[in-house]
Amino acid sequence: MAKPRRRDRGRSDAISDRFAARRYQLGLTQLELADLAGVSRSSVQAIEAGKRSVQFDVVVAVADALGCDLVLTTKAGAAVTV
């Protein structure tokens, strides 16, 4: 198994950084995560790069493969788990 590479991004709350950190924690490469999520490696790369053009269903699939829940917050402050 290939060792995942990691850029030092510092601390961030961005979903891209959280996904990359979780992938690294699990010891997965982008390709391995993509296979688990049923998406392309370029989709995983786009999410981790913070691209805004990634489809929501792809983000949900990657989150699921990482064992994460996505929580949306309404403007009123209520949490909605996806």
pLDDT, tens digit, 9 for 90 and up, residues 30-40: 999 999 999 99
Domains recognised in the chain with CATH numbers: 15-81 (1.10.260.40)
pLDDT, tens digit, 9 for 90 and up, residues 41-58: 999 999 999 998 999 999
Contact 29, 2 (CB under 8 A): yes
Q: Is the pLDDT of residue 78 over 50?
A: yes
Q: Taking the C-alpha atoms of 82, 14, 43 and 71 in order, what is their torsion angle to the nearest 10 degrees?
A: 0
